[in-house]
Amino acid sequence: MISWVFLAVTVIGAWFTFNAYVPHRRTGPLIVPSFFAGWLTAELSGHHFAWQVVATVVFVALGALDAWPGWVGLGITVASWLGLLALVPVSRRAAPVLESALGEALGASYRGSLAPEIEATMRKPHPRGRLVIPFWLTHPDVQVTRNVAYVDDGDDRHLLDVYTPRAGVRNAPVLLQIHGGGWIIGNKHEQALPLMTHLAARGWVCVATNYRLSPRATFPDHIIDVKRALRWVRENISEYGGASDFVVATGGSAGGHLSSLLALTPGAPEFQPGFEDADTRVEACVPFYGVYDWSNTYDTWAQPGLDRVLERTIMKKTMSEDPEAFRRASPMHRITPDAPPFFVIHGTHDSLAPVEEARHFVKLLRRTSRSPVAYAEIPGAQHAFEIFHSPRTRYTVEAVERFVAWVYSRHLAERDQKATG
C-alpha cells in the first residue's frame, strides 16, 4: 500500500514540475490548477526540490521500495528532481534579459547618467533570508500607513496604503501600485510587496491603492478610481515625504492594464468625471503581464473566454453592441506620441495573459511614442511571478529600480536646468 501511495505522491510532484515547463494556456478546468502549479514551482524550485527529497526519504524509510510501484515512483521523482534543478539556470537568465532590455531602450551607458545620490541608495544590501522565506514580505526599514481614504465616502475600495522609509524622507519620488485580480478580486496589500518595500527602503514613497471591483463596478469605474487615487497623491503625498511632481505607475495583470491606461490617458474627461481639471499624468509606467487590448483586434488571446468575462462582468455590454467602448478601454488603442517612458515586463510562460499581446503593445508603443520603451520577456516566468521573493523577483525588482532611477535622474536634471534658466 505504501508503495502505491509513494507512486501517487511522485506523480503529483512531477505534475508540478511539468507545469513549470508546459503550462496550460487554454480555457477549461485545468487552467487554474496548471497556473498555480507552474507558478509556484517555477519560482520556488528549490523549495519543491527540498520537500520532494524529504518526502522520498520518509517513504523509503516506511518501505515504499518493497514493491515495484515504489521503484517506478522513485524513477519519476528522480526525473522530477532533474527538472527542478534545471529551472535554476532558467531563472538566472532573467538578469541578462532585463539588463539587455534596459540597455536597448535607454542606451548602453544609461547607468552613467544616474544621479549620484540615487545611485548611492541602490548599493544598499538586501535583507538576508528572503530567498529562504519567500513570503517574508515586510522590511525593517519601511513603515506602512494603512487604509488612507482617497475618496471620503466610507467605501473600503476607496482606501490606499502608503509605504515610506522608517527614517523619514522629503521630496521623494513616488510609485503608485495598482493591484491585479481580473478586475474582480484583489487587494492593495497582496501584490508588488517586494518591489514596494525595496524602493521604500531606498528612499521612495510607494502608494498601493484599491479600486472598485466588478461585478459591482462597471468599467470605467475601475480606472476612474485609479485616477482619483492619483489625484489624491498629487494633492497629499507631500505630507508623507513624497514629491507631487514625480509619480511612476505600476501594476500587474489587471493592474498592468489599469496602470498603462492611466499612463496613456492623462486628463481624459471620460475617465475623470467631476475632476476633469486634475493632473493625472504620470512620469513613467511599469506594467507587468498586463492585458492591453480588450477588443482583441490583433487576435492575440490564448484564452477565448476572456471576451465573455469582459462582456458579462466588467463592461456589461457586448463587443458587437459597442466595439468602440472596448477599444477606448484598451491601452493598445490609446497610444500617442506623448506617452511617458514604459518598461513592459512579461513572462514567456504566462498562461493567463498572452505574451503575444505584450509584444504587439510594445511594437505599437515603439512605433508611436517619443519616449523610451523597454521590454523584457522573462524566460520561464509565469503570471504573477514577482509577488513574493525568488531569484527572478530579485533580478526584476533591481531592474525596475534602475529604470525608474534613470527616469527620475532625467527629471532632476530637467528640473535643475529650468531652475538655472
In tens digits, the chain (421 residues) has pLDDT values of 899 999 999 999 999 999 999 887 665 667 788 888 889 999 999 998 999 999 999 999 999 999 998 999 999 999 999 999 999 999 999 999 999 999 999 999 999 999 998 888 888 888 878 889 999 999 999 999 999 999 999 999 999 999 999 999 999 999 999 999 999 999 999 999 999 999 999 999 999 999 999 999 999 999 999 999 999 999 999 999 999 999 999 999 999 999 999 999 999 999 999 999 999 999 999 999 999 999 988 887 766 677 888 999 999 999 999 999 999 999 999 999 999 999 999 999 998 998 999 999 999 999 999 999 999 999 999 999 999 999 999 999 999 999 999 999 999 999 888 777 6
Chain-centre distance for alpha carbon 347: 10
- Are 185 and 248 in a shared domain? yes
Q: Same domain for 53 and 135?
A: no
Same domain, 56 and 155: no
Task: Please check whether residues 61 and 199 belong to one and the same domain.
Answer: no
Question: Which of 91, 115, 136 is where one domain is finished?
Answer: 91
67 and 172 co-located in one domain: no
**pTM for the structure as a whole:** 0.95
- Which domain-ending residue is among 48, 66, 91? 91
12 and 140 together in one domain: no
Query: Could you confirm whether 383 is annotated as catalytic?
Result: yes
CATH of the domain at 245: 3.40.50.1820
CA distance 68 to 218: 58
d(CA 215, CA 221): 11
Cβ atoms of 244 and 233 closer than 8 Å: yes
The active-site residue, picked from 48, 383, 389, 390, is: 383
Whether residue 396 is found in the same domain as residue 315: yes
- The catalytically annotated residue of 330, 350, 360, 390 is 350
Are residues 355 and 402 located together in one domain of the fold? Answer: yes
Question: Within this chain, do residues 374 and 290 fall inside the same structural domain, yes or no?
Answer: yes
**Quick check: is 253 catalytic?**
yes
- 180 and 74 in one domain? no
Domain membership of residue 43 as a residue range: 2-91
- Indicate whether 154 and 126 sit together in one domain: yes
Phi, psi of 110 (to 5 degrees): -60, -30
The domain total for the chain is: 2
Select which of 91, 253, 295, 369 is catalytic: 253
The three-state secondary structure class of 166 is coil
Q: Which of 70, 75, 77 is nearest to 54 (CA)?
A: 77
Which of 91, 106, 123 finishes a domain?
A: 91
220 and 318 share a domain?
A: yes
